[in-house]
């Protein structure tokens, strides 16, 4: 009797492992959806694997809550985090291109300085950032949540590494010989090559910004300017007598819908991003 092919056994093991991991990842989303369809009284009874019939009612309760501007919060989050993802990926790509395509005396020093900022936690500079925002008259506005996204050392390093593996200098030099300006070269030649990397970082930046609670809680005070994470925390900290777990689960469910849509829209670029482009020198 012939033994089974080792490659076949490895394939079966890999598929079983992937199924288990997929179940572990998706199970919590399923429970979130189930809880969003149940009332507060049903949630207090304990766990249930079957959906309830209170999803629309929970949505109405959240939407009609005068102390909780749900749709305004979602709009604020989309504006802030959409703009943050756009300017973060563009200017990080531009900075990476500048350090990659040009040779100057302080090139290594600039690269080292950016990498040093990468290891500095946000909490260390929080008080200085808050004082700067207050002195500039931007306290309790959305601008402090958008403008700092221009400088992102982590995204810069990813883009720089991508350029090293995907963009030959001969292509840039050929564009210069043809009379193309630097910004035209970057926007017309470099950006299309970097689309996979930009898409991947846009997903990570959007998700990271969407879930960001610390900075918005630091600079935002008005309810009409709050983002989704702050509003969810507001629901959780509501008065015990008016506390409704169904509303909280429903709001969390609504909050992850834009993230899922962004991922589905840009996910086709992830595989292309793993290959690090097809242009080699």
**Residue 184: how many CB atoms within 10 A of its CB?**
11
> Does the pLDDT of residue 52 top 60, yes or no?
yes
**Are residues 259 and 170 located together in one domain of the fold?**
yes
**52 is in which domain, residue-wise?**
6-61
d(CA 94, CA 223): 35
Please state the domain count of the chain: 2
b/e map of 122-143 (b: 16 or more CB within 10 Å)? eeeeeeebeeebeeeeebeebe
Q: Are 214 and 122 in contact (CB under 8 A)?
A: yes
- Is residue 1 a part of any domain in this protein? no
- Is residue 188 a part of any domain in this protein? yes
* Residue whose pair of structure tokens reads 């959906």 in the numeric block: 51
pLDDT at 20: 92
Q: Are 62 and 70 in contact (CB under 8 A)?
A: yes
Q: Are 58 and 249 in contact (CB under 8 A)?
A: yes
Q: How many secondary structure helices (H) and strands (E) does the chain include?
A: 16, 0
Last residue of a domain, one of 35, 61, 87: 61
Give the list of residues 6+ apart from residue 248 with CB closer than 8 angstroms, or none.
232, 235, 236
> Does the pLDDT of residue 99 top 50, yes or no?
yes
**Are residues 56 and 73 located together in one domain of the fold?**
no
**Are residues 105 and 147 located together in one domain of the fold?**
yes
pLDDT at 66: 66
pLDDT at 91: 93
The mean pLDDT value of the chain amounts to: 82
- Is residue 264 a part of any domain in this protein? yes
**Are residues 106 and 194 located together in one domain of the fold?**
yes
**Are residues 206 and 193 located together in one domain of the fold?**
yes
- Is residue 280 a part of any domain in this protein? no
Q: Which two tokens stand for residue 127?
A: 């008080």
Per-residue model confidence as pLDDT tens digits over 116-137: 888 877 777 788 888 888 898 8
**Are residues 214 and 92 located together in one domain of the fold?**
yes
Stated as kind and residue range, the H or E segment containing 270 is helix 268-274
Rg (CA), the chain: 24
- Is residue 130 a part of any domain in this protein? yes
- Is residue 227 a part of any domain in this protein? yes
Per-residue model confidence as pLDDT tens digits over 230-260: 887 776 655 555 667 888 888 888 888 888 8
- Is residue 281 a part of any domain in this protein? no
Q: Give the closest residue to 166 by CA, choosing from 189, 133, 137, 138.
A: 189
pTM of the prediction?
0.76
Which residue did the predictor score with more confidence, 179 or 270?
179
Per-residue model confidence as pLDDT tens digits over 198-231: 888 888 888 887 888 888 888 888 888 888 888 8
pLDDT at 279: 43
Last residue of a domain, one of 61, 77, 94: 61
Average pLDDT over residues 70-80: 85
Per-residue model confidence as pLDDT tens digits over 157-197: 989 988 888 888 888 888 888 888 888 889 888 988 888 88
Last residue of a domain, one of 23, 43, 61: 61
pLDDT at 271: 62
**Are residues 156 and 44 located together in one domain of the fold?**
no
- Is residue 279 a part of any domain in this protein? no
**Are residues 105 and 145 located together in one domain of the fold?**
yes
**Are residues 265 and 194 located together in one domain of the fold?**
yes
3-state secondary structure of 262: helix
**Are residues 19 and 84 located together in one domain of the fold?**
no
Express as a percent the part of the chain with pLDDT over 90: 6
Average pLDDT over residues 41-66: 80
Average pLDDT over residues 56-68: 78
**Are residues 49 and 133 located together in one domain of the fold?**
no
**Are residues 11 and 105 located together in one domain of the fold?**
no
pLDDT at 41: 81
């Amino acid at each position: 009797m012939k033994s089974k092919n080792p490659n076949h056994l490895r394939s079966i093991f890999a598929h079983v492992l992937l199924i288990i991991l997929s179940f572990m990842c998706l199970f919590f989303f399923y429970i979130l959806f189930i809880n969003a369809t149940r009332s507060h009284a049903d949630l207090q009874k304990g766990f249930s694997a079957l959906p309830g019939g209170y999803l629309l009612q929970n949505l109405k309760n959240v939407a009609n809550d005068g102390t909780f501007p749900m749709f305004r919060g979602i709009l604020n989050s989309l504006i802030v985090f959409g703009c943050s993802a756009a300017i973060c990926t563009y200017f990080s790509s531009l900075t990476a291109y500048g350090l990659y395509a040009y040779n100057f005396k302080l090139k290594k020093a600039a690269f080292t300085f950016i990498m040093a900022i990468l290891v500095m936690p946000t909490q260390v500079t929080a008080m200085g950032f808050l004082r700067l925002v207050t002195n500039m008259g931007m306290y309790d506005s959305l601008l402090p949540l958008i403008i700092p996204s221009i400088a992102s050392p982590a995204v810069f390093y990813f883009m720089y590494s991508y350029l090293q593996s995907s963009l030959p200098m001969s292509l840039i030099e050929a564009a210069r010989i043809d009379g193309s300006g630097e910004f035209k070269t970057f926007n017309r030649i470099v950006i299309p090559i970097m689309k996979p990397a930009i898409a991947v970082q846009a997903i990570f930046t959007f998700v990271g910004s969407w879930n960001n609670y610390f900075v918005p809680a630091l600079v935002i005070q008005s309810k009409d300017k709050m983002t989704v994470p702050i509003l969810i925390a507001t629901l959780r900290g509501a008065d015990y007598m008016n506390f409704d777990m169904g509303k909280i689960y429903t709001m969390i469910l609504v909050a992850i819908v834009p993230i899922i849509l962004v991922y589905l829209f840009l996910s086709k670029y992830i595989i292309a991003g793993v290959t690090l482009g097809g242009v080699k020198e």
